[in-house]
Amino acid sequence: MYKNLVQLDTTDKYDIIIIGAGLTGMALAYYLRNSGKRILIIEGRNRIGGRILTRDNTNEAPQEMGATWLSRQHSSLINLLQELGIQTFPQVLSDHAIYEPISTSPPQLVQLPRNNEPSYRIEGGTFSIIGKLKTLISDTDIHLNEKANSIQGHENYIAVHSDKGSYLADKVVSTLPPYLLGKNIEVSPALPHSVMDIMNKTHTWMGESIKVSLSYAEPFWREKNLSGTIYSNIGPITEMYDHSDYEDKLFSIMGFVNNSYYSISKEERLQMILKQLSKYYGEITHNYINYEEKVWRNDVMTYATYDDHLLPHQNNGHKIYQQSYLSGRLYIAGAETSSAHPGYMDGAVISAIYVSKNLINSGKTSEE
């Protein structure tokens, strides 16, 4: 492979190659937009956004199949939204929630405690961030449907080999979940064993999640002292929330299904969900306009089977991700790598800010 590499024209190379067009990758290109650097983003999916995935159907509220909520603590994300001119609105929660503690007891309507730290959603759907970023990084080359397979460090450059070609750069930033970077991309010279060990034990946010939503003509869950907020220990729905649009004119409910149901068909999941909702609201739940779902575990760009059992957020924000590797030419970025709020959208933005500063300042971090 080295012989093939040196035959490439090393004078025609990128300054920075970013692997992954999710929030970190797109935000990183945005923060570098005035740096004068030539940038390439390589994305294995046929779309940009990564784990931000908004299904936006005509005459339906935007349905978030991926990242959805933020809080007032997520200051880096909020600052980015303000720069982009994107508004937020509070997540609707009633004073009550439907709660199912055990299968032998009927569902209960319970009082919710006062929420002093409300969650917020993004007007027009979370993908609004990605769409706006794309318009502002128009000079950035973005290759979709192209999977990076290997990264090779050399004395004067670093190379990325994909399933469609080879590219040279001064710096490479992987924004893939660290676990997938370790499993799917060969790095040469090899990363230290201590780094590989942590990457192989870093949980991927959203990886096991199943998100579902149903759109309706009217928000019947707000009637008769009921609630669109559901918590169930029985399932298949474990949590569900009112997911109507910010103008409150298009109505839906969205939530999570127990991840043990990943292997059954979409129709089977739907029928189980309708059966559960019918217990709370009656047969009106069958009058849905549209059903959407995303089984992230079945998305090879997000999930790979773990070698060992990992806890949620395990090793997210680990200090190894604040280092550069391959003589300062390789950075490991992404939501899971952030030193603050790792595994959330705010963490993805913080990671992009951190790496962009290092790249602009010629990569001052030291190799472990």
Phi/psi of residue 187, nearest 5 degrees? -110, 130
Q: pLDDT band at 7, cuts 50/70/90?
A: very low
Torsion of CA 301, 261, 282, 227, to 10 degrees: -60
Residue for token pair 């794309």:
134
Q: Which whole number is the average pLDDT over 134-142?
A: 95
Residue 1 clears pLDDT 60, i.e. is over it? no
Contact 347, 341 (CB under 8 A): yes
Burial label, 261 (beta-carbon count in 10 A; 0-12, 13-18, 19+): middle
Q: How far apart are CA 263 and CA 132, in angstroms?
A: 35
Q: Where in the chain is the domain with CATH 3.90.660.10?
A: 70-81+91-123+211-298
Strand, helix or coil for residue 179: helix
**CATH architecture under which domain 2-50+129-205+302-360 falls:** 3-Layer(bba) Sandwich (3.50)
Tokens encoding 159: 């190379």
Say what the pLDDT of residue 365 is.
Answer: 39
Residues of the chain with CATH 3.50.50.60: 2-50+129-205+302-360
Q: Name residue 218's beta-bridge partners.
A: none
Tokens matching residue 135: 């318009």
pLDDT tens, 194-232?
999 999 999 999 999 999 999 999 999 998 778 899 999
What does pTM read for this prediction? 0.93
Helix (H, G, I), strand (E, B) or coil at 337: helix
CATH number of 70-81+91-123+211-298: 3.90.660.10
Lowest mean pLDDT among 67-71, 98-102, 129-133, 148-152: 98-102
- Residues with Cβ within 8 Å of residue 210, at least 6 apart in sequence: 256, 257, 258, 259, 261, 262, 269, 293, 294, 295, 296, 297
Q: What is the pLDDT of residues 296-321, one digit of tens each?
A: 999 999 999 999 999 999 999 999 99
Q: What is the mean pLDDT of residues 53-75?
A: 96
Contacting residues for 63 by C-beta, under 8 A, at least 6 apart: 54, 55, 56, 57, 125, 213, 215, 243, 252, 254, 292
Of 335, 322, 314, 332, whose CA–CA distance to 191 is shortest? 332
- Of the pLDDT bands very low, low, confident and very high (cuts 50, 70, 90), residue 115 is confident
pLDDT score at 362:
64
Confirm if 210 and 259 have CB atoms less than 8 A apart: yes
Burial of 151: CB neighbours in 10 Å, binned 0-12, 13-18, 19+: buried
Mean pLDDT score of the chain: 93
The confidence score (pLDDT) of residue 105 equals: 86
The first and second tokens of residue 336, run together, are 């899971």
DSSP string, 251-311: EEEEEEE-GGGTTS-HHHHHHHHHHHHHHHH-GGGG--SEEEEEEGGG-TTT----SS---
Task: Show the DSSP H helices in the chain as ranges.
Answer: 2-6, 23-31, 75-84, 127-136, 178-184, 193-199, 266-281, 345-360
Tokens of 279: 């217990």
pLDDT of 3 > 90? The answer is: no
pLDDT of 4 higher than 70: no
